[in-house]
Structure 1
Amino acid sequence: MTFVVTDNCIRCKYMDCVEVCPVDCFYEDENMLVIHPDECIDCGVCVPECPAEAIFPDTDKAATDDWLALNHKYAQIWPNITQKRDPPTDADEMNGIKEKLSQFSEKPGIGD
């Protein structure tokens, strides 16, 4: 099992999860995070830390559907992030908006 970041992270990117991850398996683009499924140790400490409630176990197929493949693909491309930074200024406004995949960006974040 692994944990998967889903669409509610898009344009929220709070990064509370990054701060608690014991193995630094988060990677970032300009407006969301992903978890590298091969690095995740399935501890789940990131789940309750996510204010956007965007992280789910991959066993929750209804929530993670195509997101596992997206997490795997982009975790190999985007920079690793291990330190929490401020979220986007409109994060609270974007939190809870449904189906944000159209706002997904492939542009890498800045990493650490």
Structure 2
Amino acid sequence: MNYRAKRKGKRTELTSLIIKEENCDYCGCCVAVCPVDCIELEEKKISIDMIKCTLCGNCPYACPVSALVGETA
């Protein structure tokens, strides 16, 4: 499911992602919605393989604690 399609207003393309690790509760919502499996949660650490990431916007939208924030141009 593409969560960005559910948003109201103008659709903007992401240019990067910011990880706010201090907000992360390691729930795994971001991992579950990633269509390319580029997010890993290991031992209280979140990492994103930006080579694989397509900047689809699913993870920031799905994150309940705003640990992942999408940046736009």
- For Structure 1 versus Structure 2, the TM-score category normalised by the shorter chain is 0.5 to 0.7
Amino acid at match of 1:38: I
Would you tell me which structure has more strand in proportion to its own residues? 2
Q: Which consecutive unaligned segments of at least 5 residues does structure 2 have?
A: 1-14
Normalised TM-score (structure 1): 0.45
Q: Structure 1 stretches of 5 or more lacking a match?
A: 61-112
Q: How many residues align?
A: 58
Q: Give 1:4 deviation, angstroms.
A: 3.2
2:36 alignment partner, one of 7, 23, 32: 23
| The structure with more radius of gyration | 1
Equivalent positions of 1:81-92 (< 5 A) are none
1:37 aligns to 2:50 (yes or no): yes
The reply to whether residue 3 of structure 1 matches residue 17 of structure 2 is yes
The whole-number CA distance in structure 2 between the counterparts of 1:18 and 1:44 is 12
Cα distance in structure 2, aligned partners of 1:3 and 1:43:
10
- Return the TM-score normalized by structure 2: 0.65
SS for the counterpart of 1:2 is strand
Give the percent of matched residue pairs that are identical in Structure 1 and Structure 2: 34
